[in-house]
Amino acid sequence: MRPLAFLELTKKDLKVEVRSKSSINQMVLFAIASAFIFSLSVDAEKFFGQILMIVVLFSSMLSCSATVVREFELETVDGLKHSMSSREIIAGKIISNSLIVFFLVLIITPVCYALFNLSGDFFLLLISLLISSLPISTTVTLLSPLSAFAKGREMLLPAMLFPIIFPVFIPSFKLLGFSYAGIFDFISAMFLLSYTGLIFSLSLILSEHLF
C-alpha cells in the first residue's frame, strides 16, 4: 500500500466536498437541528453524551455513506480501481470521512455546549467526542460500498451498522461523561481507538470485496 496514493484520494475527497458542500451542509444542518430539538425535549445536561453520540452517528451516516456511494453512482470508482489498489481506496475513504466527521464535531461541540447549558471541561469534551466519532466514521465507510447498489440502502445501512457499532456506545458515553467532570477515561478511549483499529484492519482485509 502506497501512503501517498491514499492521501491523494483523501485530499481529492476533501476538495470535492469543499466545492460541492453537499454532505457537509446536510450534516451540519441535521446535527444542529437535532441538537436543538433534544435541548428542548430532554434533560440535555444529564444526557448530553447520549445526545451527542446520536447526533454524530446519524450525521455520519448521511455524509460518510454519500461520499462513497457517489463514487459508485458516477462510476468514478472505476477510474480509481485503475490507479489504486482496493486497500488504498478504502484507506483513503476512511481518512477523508473521518476528517469530515471531525469537522462536524468541531462545529457541533460548541453549539451543543451552549444549547445544553454545559459547564464542564470543553476541550476534554471535544477530544472525547473526536475519539468517539472515529469508530463511527470508520464503520460507516466500511459498510457503505455494500449498500451502494441496494434498493433500500437508506434502511440497509443502519440495519447493518447498529450490530457492529453497538459495542462502541457504552465506552463513548463513559468517555464523554467523565470528560465533562474533567477526567480523561483512558480505558474507554483506548477501547474506542482499538475498536477503530480493528474495523480499519477489517476494511483493509475485505477491501477486495468492497471495491
Partner 1 sequence: MIICEKVSKRFGEKFAVRDVSFRFDKSLAVLGYNGAGKSTLAKLIAGILKPSSGRIEVFGKDPYKCVEVRRKIGIVTHNPMLYRELTVEENLRFFANLFRIEEWDWILDELNLRDKSNKKVLELSRGYLQRVAIARAMISNPHLLILDEAFSSLDLEGREILRKMIRNFEGSILLSTHDLEEAKFCRKFLVLHNGEAAYFGESYDEAVGVLRAHKEGSEG
Q: Does 76 bind partner 1 (CB under 8 A)?
A: yes
Q: Which of 40, 82, 119, 152 binds partner 1 (CB under 8 A)?
A: 82
> Which range, of 37-45, 79-87, 173-181, 197-205, touches partner 1 by CB under 8 A?
79-87
Q: Does 149 bind partner 1 (CB under 8 A)?
A: no
Q: Does 40 bind partner 1 (CB under 8 A)?
A: no
Integer Cα distance of 71 and 62 in angstroms? 15
Neighbour tally for 53: CB within 10 Å: 22
Measured from the CB atom, the residue of 8 and 121 that comes closer to partner 1 is: 8
Q: Which of 40, 41, 75, 166 binds partner 1 (CB under 8 A)?
A: 75
CB-side exposure of 53: number of CA atoms within 13 Å? 23
CB 177 within 8 A of CB 189: no
Cα dihedral sign, 159-161-162-163: positive
Neighbour tally for 191: CB within 10 Å: 20
Site residues (vs partner 1, CB under 8 A): 4-5, 8-9, 12, 15-16, 19-20, 74-76, 78-79, 81-86
